[in-house]
Structure 1
Amino acid sequence: MSDTVSDTRFDEAAFQSLKSEIDAWVRGPGEVWAERIEAEGDVPRALYEELRDLGYMSLAAPRELGGRGIPFTRYLELMEIFSRSHASIRMLAHVNNGTWRAMEPFANDVQREVIKKSVAGDVLVAFTLTEATAGTGADLRSTVRREGDTYYLNGEKHLITFGVKCDYWLLFARLEGTTGQNGTVALLVPNTGLPGAEVIDDSVTMGVRGTDHAILRFTDTPVPVSARLGDEGDGLKVALGGFLLPSRVSVAMSCVGLAERAQELAIHYALKRETFGKKLAERPVIQAYLAENYADIAAARALVFEAARAFENGAPDAGPLSSASKMIAVDMLTRVTDKALQIHGGQGYWHRNPIERVYRDARAQRFEEGTNEIQKTIVARAVLAEAAATAAALKAEAAAGEEAQLEAEVQA
């Protein structure tokens, strides 16, 4: 496929053509794949290869990494479309177009070649942070012990998307004996049967069927120090700023796209279904549901783009806006899918209707890239920190004013 974005000027016409192409794929071949995934409970390698060959794995990465250089805010328009498809299809596009962000600023020359293969869709990298006995931040319990040029990795990870079938784990741990973020490390580790590494397939889930998920256990697993991204102490910088911040915005947009699909299905059913001589669409209560959904989706979408622009521009409030956008979008998706299913009545509860799959898939976003509870903590910290900084500045300004006044009186 030819590039759609110029190095110096965005090609709007080509981009709109790409959007139409992806929309047609999602509604056509994408739905065929969705039915196969639901029936077999697995994402076939052939689907991954099709997405790669279409160029859908390399949309957001810069040209120097082999990507198409589509700006983040415009890439989200494509993620919105992918998210109307099966959740496992969205997940493939989301992860492959995002992990490079975490790795590239910290990569050495050898690691950068792996990143290029990831952007090309030739290798799959799984983001490997979450632990069963800790949160997903500075309380990491997986550890590494350095002996010469080798780290020995110990610990357990869980809920690792693509952790079974991936080619590499982008894995986070801490140096033995450290606390807080200063002792954290990021490692790019090949999934090649390393000594002491146990991979447990934990892929049977409520929704997002077909995507593999892993529990990973490491017992003195040797990893060369050269696999480290950045310096010792950079682990959470790699995880949070490089991946989780923009990924939360992307997940928020996936909520918007899936909500749009739920609304589309609800409208179609309301226009078709007739009870007591009236279409559902003529009934005020159904109209109210559809109107509320419309407003909910539009409001969440606007906040997602505000968060995206903040990240793109390096704004100081990009972090809390990222969390806020996901927080609002997942709550919106819960309301929209619930009303969409209600409009379908009992019919919607049956597996044969697409809204059943949408409803199941929607639940995953409520913990993907952090629950709303942690998002609220992040936002609250930022709000309180800003208030404290403002109060301190006002106090300093007042003190300076008093000192100037006193000096003026002395001189008088």
Structure 2
Amino acid sequence: MTSIPVTTDGRGSRIEQPEYDAVLDEVTRWVQDPGEEWAERIEETGTVPRELFDELKQRGYLSMAAPRDLGGRGLAFSQWMGLMEVFSRSHASIRMLVHVLNGTWRAINPHVTEAQREKFVKPMIAGELLVAFTLTEPGNGTGADITSTVRREGDTYLLNGRKHLITFGVNCDYWLLFARLEGTSGKEGTVALLVDRHAPGVEVEDTSQTMGVHGTDHASLTFTDTPVPVAQRLGEEGDGLAIALGGFLTPSRISVAMSCVGLAERAQELAVDYATGRVTFGKPIASRQAVAFMIAENEADIQAAKQLTLHAARRWEEGADDAPALSSMAKMTAVDMLTRVTDKALQVHGGIGYWKTSPIERVYRDARAQRFEEGTNEIQKTVVARDVFTRAAQKENA
């Protein structure tokens, strides 16, 4: 299988500033009005209605970050981060949809044949196919220790193994799944496959009962000699982890970091509104130094994380070698920031913030998910430390 080299990975395109400003204004107005109505409906029903998916698709919000020649809007990655910041102020499931669908194509596009690009990538960008990133396993980490295996019989791989915590794994069209050839270890022999959601030999368990991010479905998957056409392999045998970790996780970690910034901004907005409106002893509580200091600390925290995240986004956009480490720095900084900001924002509300009738309650609950999305902070610290020590060794040997 021969991969066709492409440069359209979203790094080189950019729209003009007036057009971008108009898009940003449109998205902001949507998030503040219909987006909030959808958020209330999701919380009431516990599901993401198909009508919401269709509306996001019709508005072009699921294809913002893709190049125009693939059917996308052509935003640069750093421009997309500005929109991600705004979308993340909405319901977490809305953020999850636009985050995943604007990014999964990026992992596979540089590794596909032209036929695969027409069959999978362009329909993904158009919102006609929902593909779930499928790496994590219940008994392993999320890297070279994966144990799901395939063995080849003619033009078919037979897949065996288990995956869990798979976002959109119940209702997707395909799983972008990573496994290894039987008998291999480490990164050698890893493969990336597009597995049909309705392929035989698959047991799908819906595990969507989560603390937050209500409405987004999650799955545990068991594969028993599930047939996957070799034509649905991406890249070559041995490319699996490179596709998973490089093509998806680096920009996705930056995107998650920016989602933390957006959600923290929403928490801060709610805290400020409450502090200026809540009166005790004849004065708004915003006049109390204890409250004002929490608001000030939140503001500084948010801005610091935002600037690091934008720096990481620009470095990835430039193809810089330090982008992977910066993505981990941004993600671990932003999730810690979000924890502090939402905790203080809830504290500003006092006891009333603990009730589900208060918007800050949902924000506080949803914020916990980013702590492990695209790898825990412990994983991010490992990536950063490895980069620091590698650069130190290179400097010493120079």
* TM-score class, shorter: over 0.9
More contact order relative to length (CA 8 Å, sep ≥ 6): 2
Structure 2 residue corresponding to 1:112, chosen from 117, 130, 145: 117
CA contact (8 A) 2:124 2:130 kept: yes
Structure number with larger C-alpha Rg: 1
Matches within 5 A, 1:210-221: 210-221=215-226
The residue identity in structure 2 corresponding to 1:117 is P
Q: Per-residue displacement from partner, 1:369-392 (whole Å, max 9, x unpaired)?
A: 000000000000000000011101
Percent identity among equivalent residues? 66
Is 1:86 paired with 2:91?
yes
**Residue aligning to 2:387:** 382
* Counterparts in 2 of 1:303 and 1:279: CA distance versus 1, 3 Å: same
Structure 2 residue corresponding to 1:148, chosen from 154, 176, 182: 154
CA distance in 2, matches of 1:216, 1:8: 37
Q: Per-residue displacement from partner, 1:223-256 (whole Å, max 9, x unpaired)?
A: 1111100000000111011000000000000000
Is 1:165 paired with 2:162?
no
TM-score (norm 2): 0.96
The residue identity in structure 1 corresponding to 2:143 is G
Structure 1 residue corresponding to 2:209, chosen from 204, 209, 226: 204
Provide structure 2 residue ranges, at least 5 long, that are not aligned to the other structure: 1-9
Moved segments of 4+, more than 2 Å: 7-10
SS at match of 1:140: coil
Q: Per-residue displacement from partner, 1:292-350 (whole Å, max 9, x unpaired)?
A: 00000000000001100110001111110000000000000000000000000010000
* Counterparts in 2 of 1:13 and 1:163: CA distance versus 1, 3 Å: same
TM-aligned CA deviation for residue 111 of structure 1: 1.9
**Residue aligning to 2:4:** none
**Residue aligning to 2:337:** 332
CA distance in 2, matches of 1:318, 1:182: 24
CA distance in 1, matches of 2:375, 2:15: 33
Structure 1 residue corresponding to 2:240, chosen from 230, 235, 239: 235
SS at match of 2:177: strand
Is 1:58 paired with 2:63?
yes
SS at match of 1:182: coil
SS at match of 1:181: coil
TM-aligned CA deviation for residue 20 of structure 1: 0.8
SS at match of 1:164: coil
**Residue aligning to 1:293:** 298
TM-aligned CA deviation for residue 9 of structure 1: 6.6
**Residue aligning to 2:34:** 29
CA contact (8 A) 2:144 2:241 kept: yes
Point out the more displaced range, 241-250 or 106-115. Answer: 106-115
CA distance in 2, matches of 1:24, 1:360: 24
CA distance in 2, matches of 1:111, 1:352: 47
TM-aligned CA deviation for residue 8 of structure 1: 7.7
The residue identity in structure 2 corresponding to 1:389 is Q
Q: Per-residue displacement from partner, 1:263-282 (whole Å, max 9, x unpaired)?
A: 00000000011112221100
TM-score (norm 1): 0.93
TM-aligned CA deviation for residue 110 of structure 1: 2.8
SS at match of 2:188: helix
Structure 2 residue corresponding to 1:272, chosen from 277, 283, 296: 277
Q: Per-residue displacement from partner, 1:143-180 (whole Å, max 9, x unpaired)?
A: 11111211110001001000000011100001111101
Provide structure 1 residue ranges, at least 5 long, that are not aligned to the other structure: 394-412
**Residue aligning to 1:406:** none
